[in-house]
Amino acid sequence: MRVARVHIIIIVLATTFFQPCAVFAQSETGRNLISNPSFEKYRRCPDKINPVGVLKIVNAWFQPTSGSADYYNLCGSVECFVPNNKLGVQQPRTGDGYCGIYCSKDNYREYLQTQLERPLKAGHRYRLSFFVSLSEYSTGGVATIGGLFSRERLSDTTRAILMKKIVRPITSRISQTTSVYYQPQVMNSAERPLMDTQGWMEIAGEFVAEGGETFLTIGNFLSAANSGYTDDTLLLTYLLPGSYYYIDDVRLYCLDCDDDDYDDEPLAQNDTTYKVGATFVLNNIFFDTDKSTLLQQSYQELQYLIAVLESHPKMKIEISGHTDSQGSDLHNQQLSENRAKEVVAYLMENGIEEKRLKFKGYGKTMPIATNATEEGRQKNRRVEFKILDL
């Protein structure tokens, strides 16, 4: 029997929560918690701007929706070159590269997302800053670009505004879906349209962490009507029906952390745990559903593993893939093996010698949790590495 679902869209807009761009007296301490903050590390040079596609070539950065973010670099093709490229003209603020997203005058959106180097500490105060420059091929600019911190990785198949979906059961067979606007912890003021096409404009703000925030998403989270859109007849060409921004130099610092707050290195970097036979779960490895295609959200976790292998030049490991109990034995075994093989391929692409790596698929034969619940099945769908030699 087909289950009926009721979808109700309720728009909630909060304004007092946002932190506008401002000048701060408190100094930044510690280190930048953003990996690859100016987009200088990449898997290959960019070669094309696609209206539909996935950002896969920039280390540590990815897109959470189907809106296609873009990458530009001095090594790129004509479309992706700097300073002149298909969507505008701009020198990087620092280094050789930057990214670009469409922030729109309608409800089409593009976003950039990254995993922080460590979760944020509850009660501590942080400062986020990044720089944007409006493409002169836009028809105008918006104001409300911001940064949203979340505990979980946000994702959606839409090309529209990224919104929070809240599902509430009405009966055992009917549910109600409510969509609400996300509230970025840091957002540029709606009264300050971002109109500079020559230089770089800073968006910055302070906030107190709830604790456990692990992902940062950058973009415009408000509706077109509330985005502070401003037309500009002085822009060179109207190739883009809305607002397209280059983004560079993303920084996140704790303003009141002590040195002790930075001692909890990720497990993959903790030297005291390494011995032959030890096995570690790579918790943030993601694939397309029921496929072996490695998603760019995995790259940061794999960079941790690469750092371990580089600091232990004699270490040899086995990458193992595991599935839950759903599906046939043959399918699960092949899927787990192909996923492990894909991880090994990434490690080799990033300079790890093939002789140090092995891969194996175990299918559903080695569960670490129950397969009776979705939570348990999610734990069983995993990738591990085992130390074979030191």
Radius of gyration of the chain (CA): 22
Indicate the range of 58-62, 67-71, 145-149, 332-336 predicted with least confidence: 58-62
For residue 156, the number of C-alpha atoms closer than 13 Å in the C-beta half-sphere is: 16
Res 17: pLDDT: 40
Q: Which pLDDT does position 236 carry in this prediction?
A: 54
Tell me: the pLDDT tens digits for 191-244? 999 999 999 999 999 999 999 999 999 999 999 999 999 886 555 555 677 899
User: What pLDDT is attached to residue 14?
Assistant: 39
In the chain, the domains with their CATH numbers are 1-264 (2.60.120.260), 267-389 (3.30.1330.60)
Residue 234: its pLDDT value, please? 57
Picking from 134, 131, 127, 146, the residue whose alpha carbon sits closest to that of residue 23 is 127
What is the model's pLDDT at position 126?
A: 97
Q: Specify burial of residue 15 (Cβ count, 10 A radius: 0-12, 13-18, 19+).
A: exposed
Does residue 37 have a pLDDT over 60?
A: yes
Q: Is the pLDDT of residue 57 over 50?
A: yes
Q: Which of 154, 138, 164, 133 is nearest to 63 (CA)?
A: 154
* Residue 16 reports pLDDT greater than 80: no
pLDDT of residue 262: 52
Distance of alpha carbon 103 from alpha carbon 227, whole angstroms: 9
Identity (one letter) of the amino acid at 65? Answer: T
Q: Is the peptide bond before 184 cis (omega within 30 degrees of 0)?
A: no
Instruction: Report the pLDDT value the prediction gives residue 25, as an integer from 0 to 100.
Output: 41
Whole-number Å distance between alpha carbons of 69 and 174: 36
Largest CA distance in the chain: 66
Question: Tokens standing for 208?
Answer: 């107190």
How does DSSP assign 234-274, residue by residue? TSS---BSS-EEEEEEEEEEESS--GGGG----GGG-GGG-
pLDDT at 260: 54
The residues near 58 (Cβ < 8 Å, ≥ 6 apart) are 36, 39, 41, 42, 43, 71, 97, 99, 296
Report the alpha-carbon distance of residue 200 to residue 92 in Å, rounded. Answer: 9
Q: Classify residue 117 by its DSSP letter.
A: S
Q: 109, 110, 104, 75: which is closest to 92 by C-alpha? A: 75
CA dihedral in degrees (158, 160, 162, 168; nearest 10)?
-70
Asked if residue 146 lies in contact with residue 94, where contact means CB atoms within 8 angstroms, the answer is no
β strands within 14-111, DSSP E: 61-62, 70-73, 84-85, 88-89, 97-102
Q: What is the pLDDT of residue 261?
A: 55
Q: Which whole number is the average pLDDT over 132-143? A: 92
Percent above pLDDT 70 for the chain: 87
CB 134 within 8 A of CB 195: yes
Report pLDDT for 293: 80
pLDDT number for residue 132: 98
Highest average pLDDT, of 16-25, 228-237, 267-276, 287-296, comes from 287-296
Contacts of 248 (CB under 8 A, 6+ apart): 38, 39, 92, 93, 94, 95, 98, 99, 130, 131, 133, 200
* Distances 117 to 69, 77, 114, 303 between C-alpha atoms, Å: 22, 31, 9, 11
Cα 115 to the center of its chain, rounded Å: 6
Residue 259's pLDDT band, with cuts at 50, 70 and 90, is low
What would the pLDDT profile of 141-174 be if each residue is shown by its tens digit? 999 999 999 998 898 888 999 998 887 787 777 8
Give the model's confidence band at 292: pLDDT under 50 very low, under 70 low, under 90 confident, else very high: confident
Q: Which residues contact 40 (CB under 8 A, 6 or more apart)?
A: 95, 96, 97
Say whether pLDDT at 48 is over 50. Answer: yes
Tokens standing for residue 191: 């009264």
Instruction: Please give the mean pLDDT across all residues of the chain.
Output: 85
Q: Look at 6 and 127; give whichever has higher pLDDT.
A: 127
CB 390 within 8 A of CB 312: yes
Residue 101's SS3 state is strand
Task: Report d(CA 277, CA 262) in Å as an integer.
Answer: 29
pLDDT in tens, 98-112: 999 999 888 899 999
Please tell me the predicted confidence (pLDDT) of residue 6: 38
pLDDT score for 268? 43
| More confidently predicted of 70 and 270 | 70
Higher pLDDT residue, 12 or 359?
359
